[in-house]
Amino acid sequence: MFENKSLGEKSLKKMLLLLVSLLVIANVPILTKVYAQTTTIIKVEPEINIRSPYAVWPNYVNKTFKINVTLNDVTSEQELVAAQFYLTYNKTLLEVVSVTEGPFFQDPRWNLAGTFFISFVEVLPDGSGVVKYMDMIYPNLTTGNYDDWTIFPNGNGTIATITFKSIYQPIAPQSSESCDLGITETMLLDSGANEISHDFQSGTYEVIPLQIPRTAIDVSIDVGKIYFKGEIAEFYILTSDYGKAVDTTEIKAYLYYDGTLFASLTDAIEHVTTGLYMISYSIPSDAEPGTYTLLVEAEFFEAKGTNINSFLISSTFEQLEAFVAEINDDIATIILPDLNQIKLNLTAIDAKLIDLQGTTAVINSTLGKLKVNIETINATITNLIISNGEILADIDTSLGHIVTELQNVSTTLAGVDDNIASLHSFATIGLSVASIFSAIAAVAAVAVLILLRKSPK
């Protein structure tokens, strides 16, 4: 087309000036750049290009993707006829497959004589890759101008499409890699070869590390060393992949004893947080003493994992000096030396109050004897009884009713002994008149009052 002899000298010079100002991209740096903030923008779309993971992280090496370089908010009054840009990228991550002209300049409303575009893929001194691109609308090839144009490019449109190939992807546990898809050296020219002020917007590329496909995930189980009948045991399960906690797509738990299935605990599994699960299990009162094994099976999409952990169920803590620290709705928190604390269902172990020793109550159970402070079981003296010369205390507690010698309750309480002695002297005289019983009741009332005031809080 440049050999067209019908072009006049001035028109040819004007056209060549326009072409040279655009084609200079292939040879020397652009000398004039305009960065004024306007509504016209050259930008990369999409702005962020992430090769992101799904459930299983894919391999992106040798995979291709496309970006568009677009013009936005162009007006016909600007009489835009040509555009150029550089697009830089990290050539250790990406390789340019192709550069094609976009449809914006090819619109037949303003493409009356054809278009011309050219692109080069080169390496900058800093080692970055760069795409150098120029696109223009031909003028009237006879007159060398755009006088015949009644409308020029306007609105938004794509001037170039660049296809990249991913050539590198880090492997976990390495971090993601990224680079700018940087727009630089931009130029927009009008029909008189004058620059049009504009702005530009770069893009970003990021590639996620490749996760080598696994056939197994890690399953860890935390259980105590020993449990007791009626105890509320807590088992914890952690599932992880490459050292990172992950929520399973399926998880099951089974408890075995003596080589056979004892209980399915799948329905008791509770999700705590990412990758962490808990099983709250009340040890049955009829569980045989011995070694029990918890088996957990987990799946994370295609990967599977399993693990076991064992513990003992003991029939008694008779020799462990168990002490009840708290009772709440029949659930007792029990302190066991060297075993920290456990929780037991008192109904499940058939707990019954059998004795009071000072400020301590003794509880019998299927696991053995327990001790508890009388305040913990809300012990209250409701009556005093004289029987066979002995003074008995009728006591109500949260664990039931008990009658015991008053001295058993009060021996550790200072200031009550004298009143007990007075009660004994009345009881051994053998009088049966009502006045004597009234006197006993009066003294007993005083004893109870002192007992309540002197009881430790």
Encode pLDDT of 44-57 as tens digits.
998 776 655 433 44
**Which pLDDT does position 133 carry in this prediction?**
96
Rounded distance between C-alpha atoms, residue 97 and residue 94, angstroms = 9
Rounded distance between C-alpha atoms, residue 278 and residue 236, angstroms = 5
> 3-class DSSP state for residue 448?
helix
**Which pLDDT does position 420 carry in this prediction?**
46
Residue 444, pLDDT > 90, answer: no
Tokens for 405, please give them: 């010698």
pLDDT, mean of residues 19-35? 41
CATH topology identical between 9-207 and 218-314: yes
Which residue has better confidence, 454 or 188? 188
Residue 198, pLDDT > 90, answer: yes
Strand spans (E) along 338-454: 341-345, 352-357, 360-365, 368-373, 380-387, 390-397, 400-405
- Topology annotation, domain 9-207: Immunoglobulin-like (2.60.40)
Encode pLDDT of 89-148 as tens digits.
999 999 999 999 999 999 999 999 999 999 999 999 999 999 999 999 999 989 989 999
**Which pLDDT does position 215 carry in this prediction?**
76
230: left (phi over 0), alpha (psi -120 to 50) or beta: left
- Topology annotation, domain 218-314: Immunoglobulin-like (2.60.40)
**Which pLDDT does position 12 carry in this prediction?**
34
Encode pLDDT of 319-360 as tens digits.
566 667 677 777 877 776 666 667 777 776 777 777 777 677
Q: Are strands 303-314 and 80-89 parallel, antiparallel or unpaired?
A: unpaired
CA 261 from chain centre, in angstroms, equals 34
73 pLDDT tier (thresholds 50, 70, 90): very high
Residue written as tokens 């005289």?
Answer: 429
**Which pLDDT does position 406 carry in this prediction?**
65
Rounded distance between C-alpha atoms, residue 113 and residue 150, angstroms = 14
Domain ranges of the chain: 9-207, 218-314, 318-454
Q: Of the spans 56-65, 243-252, 418-427, which averages the highest pLDDT?
A: 243-252
CA 9 from chain centre, in angstroms, equals 72
